[in-house]
Amino acid sequence: MRKAVVGMLLAAAVSGPIWAQEGAGAKVPPAPDYEARANWSVFASKGWASPLPKGAAEPARAPKVAVFFLHPTTLRSETGELNQNTADAKANTWTDESSIARQASAFAACCDVYAPRYRAATYNSFASGPVREAAFALAYGDVERAFDAFLKQIGDRPFIIAGHSQGAFHSATLLERRIDGTALQKQMVAAYIIGINLAQGDFGKRFKSVTPCATPDQTGCVLQWNAYLEGATDVAKMAGYSQSTYVQKYGDDAGKVTLCINPLTFDARLPQAPSAAARGAVPGSPGFGPLQPLRAGAVSARCDSGLLIVRPDKALGLEPLAGGVMHYHDLGLFWADVSANAVRRARAFSAGAK
């Protein structure tokens, strides 16, 4: 079962372009109206209001930067849905407590956070390629409409886009189709696209203008990493899997290596960092209830063949998926590091705009 989950997660992360809605064969839930606050997990106008883990930086009171955050797959449907219904209270609660509280909250110290509810593809849709593509296409349509509502709300303020797993997939598509090479690129502080498999060669091919972030305070750039447990991961095998989509599309060239920016350094020149560099991880597996206090110095990380190889403290109580995949903890392991880096980039952007 766990191997199947890993396969579905990775299939979602590396699947190709998605445009057809035909053949889904399931009832489509109603389209959300993004003028209604009920269709947003977070709709910040006065800063972050929910509890943060002990040890977190204080939420920004009057942030100049806004964040558009997209949650990962959060519905393992038992009744056959291919796309999550944004009116499903149970699914929304799980989304809010497993993703928004543990992931989107990392941006509270820098920014106003906006996180739409969207008809995300469910685990059911991962069973076949055509069905998955249709479900992802429907979800992405919501993402674009939510992004338009977000832009209407923030005006000409600078923004960050961020997402994890399926949310990162849609963030990458949004970056490609709506931001890269457009006037909006000048407003973008950074894109935190976490837990998918963008290749180094995608920059210059898929993305014509934006580039990977090379330094901790660079702006207008893209960050990505995928965490795997040291000693439990066949690096060569997983690296090959992560490169497969690029190779199929562009050929077997040097650009196939997956982009890995170490979130303990955020510096392309420093791909390895000891646990002493870690500002604070969120303990415990994603679940209901308040977050446990952050724990500093609890994880080391290094980029190896495009993968982020991590060694977390066992006291964190984090369970890997089969094969040492730490997908559920891509952000939680580096919660305070992401928080501090987003603050740094937001300040750098504001300073450069003066």
Highest mean pLDDT: which range of 22-26, 40-44, 125-129, 191-195:
191-195
Angstrom distances, CA of residue 287 to CA of 13, 98, 161, 282, 317: 22, 5, 24, 12, 13
pLDDT reading at 129 higher than 70 = yes
Q: Measured between alpha carbons, how far is 258 from 43 in angstroms, rounded to an integer?
A: 33
325 in helix, strand or coil?
strand
pLDDT of residue 7: 41
pLDDT reading at 22 higher than 90 = no
Sketch out the chain's domains with CATH numbers.
2-224+235-252+336-353 (3.40.50)
State the helix-helix crossing angle for 166-174 and 129-154, rounded to 10 degrees.
Answer: 60
77-81, long-range: CB < 8 A, 24+ apart: 77/122, 77/123, 77/124, 80/26, 80/124, 81/26, 81/27, 81/29, 81/122, 81/124
pLDDT in tens, 184-230: 999 999 999 999 999 999 999 999 999 999 999 999 999 999 999 99
Segment 168-172 shows an average pLDDT of 98
- pTM score: 0.92
Q: Measured between alpha carbons, how far is 223 from 219 in angstroms, rounded to an integer?
A: 11
pLDDT in tens, 150-160: 999 999 999 99
Tell the burial category of 275 from Cβ atoms under 10 Å away from its Cβ (0-12, 13-18, 19+): middle
